[in-house]
Amino acid sequence: MKTAVIGAGIAGLAAAVRLAVAGHTVDVYETNAGPGGKLNQFSLPGGYRFDFGPSLFTMPQYVDELFTLAGEDPRDHFNYTRLPEVCRYWWPDGTRFTAPASTEDLVRQVAQTFDVPEQAMRDFMDTAARKYTLTGRTFLEKSLHKVSTWLDPQVAYAMLKIPGLDLFRSMHDVHEAALGDPRLVQLFDRFATYNGSNPYKAPGLLSMIPHFEHHFGAYLPAGGMYDIARSVHALGERLGVRYHFGTRVEQILLPSPMERGRGRGQAGSRVQGIQVNGEEVAYDTVVCNMDVWLAYDRLLSGAKRPAITLKQQKSSSAVIFYWGIDRSFPELGLHNIFFSKDYAREFASLEGGTLSDDVTVYVNISSKYVPEDAPAGHENWFVMVNAPAHTGHDWDTLVAALRQQIIAMLSAQLAPSADTPDWLARHITAERIVTPPDIESLTGSHQGALYGSSSNGRMAAFLRHPNFSRRIDGLYFLGGSVHPGGGLPLCLLSARIVADLVADANKSATKHAPVGTGSRR
């Protein structure tokens, strides 16, 4: 079976490995010069290395699984450290809280810091675990768009539990009712941003997200986040996957409209291959890891667009400042959140398509665990603010004001006795700024939306694009813009779902092939 994978982001890399293990001859085509997509890296003058995109690593078993499938020991090729703490939180009122890694430690320390009884916090985390247990196989590990999923007895059982899944309340409402203390509510509301959503609109089911960090753990790869892409790419090479970097796929070749009209499973209804450098290359299967909106716009111009799916509200984007800092801050950890005073107003601004004048700031410092990422006594700061998807904003003006706001905020928190509000600026020795249009051009994310569509609505999961084409056999989709969603664990799961779908389709084709013909190879 000859298979093309379009895009060498982490989902495409993982799918290539899975399909190669299954016996496919796999070619991966990537516009950029190397693998990783958003999961990339770069350096700034002065000896500062940065991971370009994702900075949080949970569910490492989904990476380990790729090596195990290939018959290798993951520890021979990919290693990581479980973090003793997840994140350090800072509030404008002076409250500071370091979230420990384990659920039980979290429960105890929350009760000591906030106006929340220990049992209330334990009940909240137990509920998060129950939501994950009930829905994980349905919403994350299987296609929501196949009848077979809904015939699974475990799925049927989960559906009976819908009233307790908080699908009809927002995350914020769930957190407010369970936790009460506004600071703690804000802490858990911020988990909505893990898939680019608004906690005041996203369904309460997503309050299960903290379970990923505090039960399964948060980790950091030995060489930084790019180690994930590097190691999976190398695994693919050992399996014989062929990578074509610096190569743009121009079109996915489809059957003619008349042939498509025959319906799925009929002769001529199958994908034909791809066009690259003006030449047509035949493939039995095409797996598209491109943002699904751009895929229909650029690669599938002859296909019927799924209008409702592509019109869904975009997820948030980001403005990111990569700063080389000429001193160290022992009070900061790997992950740090500096909260705004008014979270509701901040998200209202994002919904309105702009930035608030009071934003929440995330600071990631990988040199805390990977000393080689910055010179001795220095730190590499990845400073991110949630931003609306790009729809024609004047980012130069917005970013100039945002930079001043962030520097003043962090200066006030880290050096309250400093003589000027721009104290931190004196310590920035290297800088790169990335805006939503940059994210769009560098990673192929439509309008710079980091996760495709948002999860602002109880039907959002069902409105994401399926992992397969409903009209074209042999055409599949994966990555953060389709089911099950954005973020590293879900992208890796999308690769698993696609590999399972391809295997099922091949079994079905073999079973129904005329005697003597065998399967198509």
Q: What is the pLDDT of residues 157-174, one digit of tens each?
A: 666 666 678 888 999 999
Last residue of a domain, one of 163, 185, 214: 214
Which structural domain range is residue 129 located in? 102-214
Which pLDDT score, from 0 to 100, does residue 470 have?
A: 87
Q: Say whether both 126 and 230 belong to one domain.
A: no
Q: Is 120 helix (H, G, I), strand (E, B) or coil?
A: helix
Q: Say whether both 237 and 191 belong to one domain.
A: no
Query: What CATH number does the domain containing 245 carry?
Result: 3.50.50.60
Quote the CA–CA distance of 498 and 268 in Å, as a whole number.
22
Give a three-class secondary structure readout of 165-181.
Answer: CCCCCEHHHHHHHHHCC
CA angle 268, 509, 497 (to 5 degrees): 100
| Number of domains observed in the structure of the chain | 2
CB 330 within 8 A of CB 367: no
Quote the CA–CA distance of 433 and 260 in Å, as a whole number.
46
Residue 140 lies in a domain: yes
Quote the CA–CA distance of 193 and 191 in Å, as a whole number.
5
Residue 459 lies in a domain: no
Strand-pairing partners, residue 383, are 321, 363
Which pLDDT score, from 0 to 100, does residue 262 have?
A: 52
Residue 47 lies in a domain: no
Quote the CA–CA distance of 197 and 316 in Å, as a whole number.
7
Q: Say whether both 146 and 111 belong to one domain.
A: yes
Q: Say whether both 146 and 192 belong to one domain.
A: yes
Furthest-apart CA atoms within the chain: distance in Å:
84
Distances (CA, A) of 349 to 113, 171, 393: 30, 18, 14
Residue 377 lies in a domain: no
CB 348 within 8 A of CB 313: no
Residue 278 lies in a domain: yes
User: What's the sign of the alpha-carbon dihedral 139, 140, 141, 146?
Assistant: positive
Crossing angle for the helix pair 118-135 and 171-179, to the nearest 10 degrees: 150
Which pLDDT score, from 0 to 100, does residue 83 have?
A: 96
Q: Say whether both 209 and 231 belong to one domain.
A: no
Quote the CA–CA distance of 185 and 91 in Å, as a whole number.
12
Burial 487-520, CB ≥16 within 10 A → b, else e: bbbbbbbbbbbbbbbbeebbeebeeeeeeeeeee
Last residue of a domain, one of 159, 182, 214: 214
Q: Say whether both 208 and 256 belong to one domain.
A: no
Which pLDDT score, from 0 to 100, does residue 147 have?
A: 60
Q: Is 364 helix (H, G, I), strand (E, B) or coil?
A: strand
Distances (CA, A) of 276 to 13, 29, 84, 91, 93: 19, 9, 47, 52, 57
Quote the CA–CA distance of 114 and 182 in Å, as a whole number.
9
Residue 107 lies in a domain: yes
The one-letter code for the residue type at 184 is: L
Helix (H) or strand (E) segment spanning residue 275: strand 273-276
The one-letter code for the residue type at 290 is: M
Per-residue pLDDT of the chain (521 residues; tens, 9 = 90+): 999 999 999 999 999 999 999 999 999 999 999 999 999 999 999 999 999 999 999 999 999 999 999 999 999 999 999 999 999 999 999 999 999 999 999 999 999 999 899 999 999 999 999 998 887 766 777 666 666 665 667 666 666 666 678 888 999 999 999 999 999 999 999 999 998 999 999 999 999 999 989 999 999 999 999 999 999 999 999 999 999 999 999 999 998 765 555 554 444 489 999 999 999 999 999 999 999 999 999 999 878 888 888 888 899 999 999 999 999 999 999 999 999 999 999 999 999 999 999 999 999 999 999 999 999 999 999 999 999 999 999 999 999 999 999 999 999 999 998 888 999 999 999 999 999 999 999 999 999 999 888 878 766 666 788 999 988 999 999 999 998 888 899 999 999 999 999 998 988 776 655 544 433 33
Last residue of a domain, one of 181, 214, 247: 214
Q: Say whether both 192 and 268 belong to one domain.
A: no
CB 28 within 8 A of CB 34: no
Q: 277, 214, 213, 267: which is closest to 244 by C-alpha?
A: 277
- Give, as one character, the DSSP assignment of residue 276: E
Which pLDDT score, from 0 to 100, does residue 521 have?
A: 31
Give a three-class secondary structure readout of 22-38.
Answer: CCCEEEEEECCCCCECC
Which pLDDT score, from 0 to 100, does residue 408 have?
A: 96
pLDDT in tens, 442-479: 999 999 999 888 878 766 666 788 999 988 999 999 99
Which pLDDT score, from 0 to 100, does residue 204 have?
A: 93
Quote the CA–CA distance of 502 and 130 in Å, as a whole number.
31
How far is C-alpha 348 from the chain's CA centre?
23
Reported pTM: 0.91
Quote the CA–CA distance of 54 and 40 in Å, as a whole number.
9
Which pLDDT score, from 0 to 100, does residue 519 have?
A: 35
Q: What is the CA radius of gyration of the chain?
A: 23
